[in-house]
Amino acid sequence: AGEAIVQEHWDGTGDVLEIVAGVISWGASLVPWPVRRAMKRFLRGF
């Protein structure tokens, strides 16, 4: 559902969206696993 919502509101090209998604994914991989797990648990509450 998240990807569909982003594409619905995205005005740019698909290539740029892929680059942005890649950068976000790369950045998330730099965060230690315990911190990522805690953030996922916190964000599920919203």
Spell out the domain ranges in the chain.
2-44
pLDDT mean across residues, the chain: 84
45 DSSP assignment: T
Q: How confident is the model at residue 7 (pLDDT cuts 50, 70, 90)?
A: confident
pLDDT exceeds cutoff 80 at 2: no
Return the closest-CA partner of residue 7 out of 15, 17, 16.
Answer: 17
pLDDT exceeds cutoff 90 at 30: yes
Return the closest-CA partner of residue 17 out of 46, 9, 28, 33.
Answer: 9
Q: What is residue 1's predicted lDDT score, i.e. its pLDDT?
A: 52
